[in-house]
Structure 1
Amino acid sequence: MELRHLRYFVAVAQALHFGRAAEQLGITQPVLSDQIRRLETLLGVQLLYRTKRVVQLTEPGRIFLTDALRVLSQTETAITTVQRAAQGKLGKLAIGYTGPALYTVLPEILRLFRDRYPEVELSLHEYCTPEQEAALLADELQVGFLHPPIDAPLQQHEVLCEPMVVALPENHPLANQAILSIKDLAQEPFILFPQAVGPNLYGQIMTLCTQAGFSPKVVQEVTPQPTMIGLVAARIGIAFVSMSMQSITRPGVVYRSLQEASPILKLVVAWKESLRETSRTTSANGGDRSAQDRSSPVLDNFLQVVDEWSQQVEALQ
């Protein structure tokens, strides 16, 4: 039995007229009559009582109609669901992010994506850059917001580039200066993030201090940046934080720029290229099916939203 048999039967059962049902289905009446007889023969049950003037459902036919309608409805639902999944409107997306991403680009990008694709299930995971690289390669994450340089063979697109500023207790003597020199910080206790969390940025800060003739006295290593700012408010030390963190109001803390070239915090969105492009490439070349099945329409849609967001930001600058 095929789905078309059910559709033919439902059309006749609802119209109770072979001619009107055939017209509705776009087939001839003799073909429809033959298909209904084949269905009844297959089931071994008379579904319809018909004469030249009357078509009626038998009792088994009435029961079968209920089940046939349910099957057809479920089939249509399944078709709609798989089509929406192929369009990236349904599915799951595992996203990695670092602390700075959460306080800069990520909330707005997620809001835009959720507005457009509300039925996609998002799972968010806070990892440092090396952890995200490993998770992306292992397909534990589909996309990540992390800090370059990236050693893993991943595709990437820059979404943020901003200088670091110095967070100081508001009653600190240096807070009276509108702008600082890195040399002003030579005797200050530093609150830093662990080197493993952001090795490149950590290296920039250390190099800046070394060029100024001192090695920073690190009294505390913590993450994320709001925790660092909290420790600054508690007068534990000073800290380098991204410029965007100034938007977080914290009593007892002021922010000052450096007159020297400040360390730069960069953020990229990264993904495993095979998850995005393999299906299009292999289908064009007649490649293997297993590679095609690794494509992710949801990832495609997410990266499209990131691209659009980036263009909007650039237009405002």
Structure 2
Amino acid sequence: MELRHLRYFIAVAEEGSLTLAAEKRLHTTQPSLSRQIRDLEYEVGVELMSRSVHGIELTAAGKAFLDHARLALTQAEAATAAARRAAQPAKPTFAMGFLTGQEVNWLARATSILRDDLPNIEIRVSSDHSITLADDLQRGKFDIAFLRLEPRPDLEFKLVTKEPLVVILPGDHPLAGHEAIDPRDLTGETYIGISNVPHVLRAAIDDYLKRSGIKITPNLEIDNYAMAISLVASTRGVALLPASAENFLPRSVVSRPLKGETPTIDLAVGYHKANTSPILKTFLSRIDDLTTPSRKPGRDR
């Protein structure tokens, strides 16, 4: 029994016609196909198909044989693909992690640094909380990560940009009519705060509010942009978030800059000191090609 016999049998079974299977699927003649099916039935030892003026119908044996025939073909194709992969030299992998939201701004620029090497390497990308990215860098899961300055003795950081903090609020909120918002105006509003998970961001926001002489008790605390923006929309509250959160704003939510000295939070490329990857070395040698994205003072969606 040959694989072609299985292919012929499956084609006839699915088309319900020797003629259609021969012409549409197999590009052979109907007499030749009939002969192949008879050879298969002889090999199996039972009748697999019944022929009538209404076309081809599978016998009980044929129905049982069909499932196994499909599985055998699938396994044969998988074996072929595996053999071809094994015959090719494995491409080196470069794994990049992104603080959720930052991939929108930095993925294209990060890959452009490696454009000369892209045909010869495999790039893997994922996103997560900054603290998780730092842990994964330590474990060797990533070669580089765009994250906050997480204190780790075995990680190195190269500053990429100082990301401004902005006010996120409903588009029809009274404060949305301001070109820039005085932080004191946030007092008394439903305030969506940051939990301890993104601890670097929380510390930056708390420090800014303290320097501004403002004490605000959060009504709710969250650990990701999506939840913060959702709560802003549903509670008509306000939040302080990095400008990269603007990439996720629905039409009903807008951002506005803060009046006075603009508070910022650092975004860096982190990597493990012991990583000897030549791709990482190339990336770091060209890291100055990463430029701070330009942004407008507030964004409507």
TM-score (norm 1): 0.57
Contact 2:233 2:252 in 1 (8 A): yes
Match status 1:144 vs 2:145 = yes
Contact 2:157 2:271 in 1 (8 A): yes
Match status 1:297 vs 2:298 = no
Alignment partner, residue 207 of structure 2: 207
CA distance in 1, matches of 2:171, 2:260: 22
Tell me the secondary structure at the aligned position of residue 300 of structure 1. Answer: helix
| Amino acid in structure 2 at the alignment position of 1:257 | P
Alignment partner, residue 113 of structure 1: 114
- The Cα offsets for residues 21-60 of structure 1, whole Å up to 9 and x where unpaired, read as xxxxxxxxxxxxxxxxxxxxxxxxxxxxxxxxxxxxxxxx
| Amino acid in structure 2 at the alignment position of 1:302 | F
Kindly tell me the number of residue pairs found equivalent between the two proteins.
Answer: 209
Structure 1 regions of 5+ residues with no counterpart?
1-76, 276-294
CA distance in 2, matches of 1:144, 1:110: 13
CA distance in 2, matches of 1:177, 1:218: 23
Task: Give the C-alpha shift of residue 133 in structure 1.
Answer: 2.4
Distance change >3 Å, CA 306–CA 114, structure 1 → 2: same
Identity across the alignment (%): 25
Alignment partner, residue 287 of structure 2: 306
| Amino acid in structure 2 at the alignment position of 1:301 | T
Distance change >3 Å, CA 248–CA 313, structure 1 → 2: closer
Contact 1:98 1:128 in 2 (8 A): yes
Between structure 1 and structure 2, the one with the greater Rg is 1
Alignment partner, residue 197 of structure 2: 196
Contact 2:130 2:150 in 1 (8 A): no
Task: Give the C-alpha shift of residue 171 in structure 1.
Answer: 1.4
| Amino acid in structure 1 at the alignment position of 2:196 | Q
Alignment partner, residue 95 of structure 2: 94
| Amino acid in structure 2 at the alignment position of 1:239 | A
Matches within 5 A, 1:94-243: 94-110=95-111, 112-113=113-114, 116-197=117-198, 199-243=199-243
Contact 2:168 2:253 in 1 (8 A): yes
Distance change >3 Å, CA 226–CA 272, structure 1 → 2: same
Task: Give the C-alpha shift of residue 267 in structure 1.
Answer: 0.8
Distance change >3 Å, CA 214–CA 94, structure 1 → 2: same
| Amino acid in structure 2 at the alignment position of 1:263 | P
Structure 2 regions of 5+ residues with no counterpart?
1-86, 295-301
Distance change >3 Å, CA 254–CA 133, structure 1 → 2: closer
Task: Give the C-alpha shift of residue 268 in structure 1.
Answer: 0.7
Distance change >3 Å, CA 219–CA 120, structure 1 → 2: farther
CA distance in 2, matches of 1:221, 1:115: 44
TM-score (norm 2): 0.59
CA distance in 1, matches of 2:96, 2:284: 12
Task: Give the C-alpha shift of residue 305 in structure 1.
Answer: 4.6
- The Cα offsets for residues 185-230 of structure 1, whole Å up to 9 and x where unpaired, read as 1111222332221x23312212333344443232333343244223
- The Cα offsets for residues 67-95 of structure 1, whole Å up to 9 and x where unpaired, read as xxxxxxxxxx98xx5xxx8xxxx301222
Contact 2:169 2:236 in 1 (8 A): no
Distance change >3 Å, CA 274–CA 211, structure 1 → 2: closer
Tell me the secondary structure at the aligned position of residue 148 of structure 1. Answer: coil
- The Cα offsets for residues 238-269 of structure 1, whole Å up to 9 and x where unpaired, read as 11122344455521122221113333121111
| Amino acid in structure 1 at the alignment position of 2:206 | M
CA distance in 1, matches of 2:290, 2:99: 19
Task: Give the C-alpha shift of residue 120 in structure 1.
Answer: 1.8
Alignment partner, residue 42 of structure 2: none
CA distance in 1, matches of 2:174, 2:163: 26
Distance change >3 Å, CA 110–CA 232, structure 1 → 2: farther
Distance change >3 Å, CA 253–CA 123, structure 1 → 2: same
Alignment partner, residue 34 of structure 2: none
Tell me the secondary structure at the aligned position of residue 136 of structure 2. Answer: helix
| Amino acid in structure 1 at the alignment position of 2:283 | F
Contact 1:97 1:144 in 2 (8 A): yes
Alignment partner, residue 267 of structure 2: 267
| Amino acid in structure 2 at the alignment position of 1:144 | A
CA distance in 1, matches of 2:134, 2:288: 21
Contact 2:95 2:124 in 1 (8 A): yes
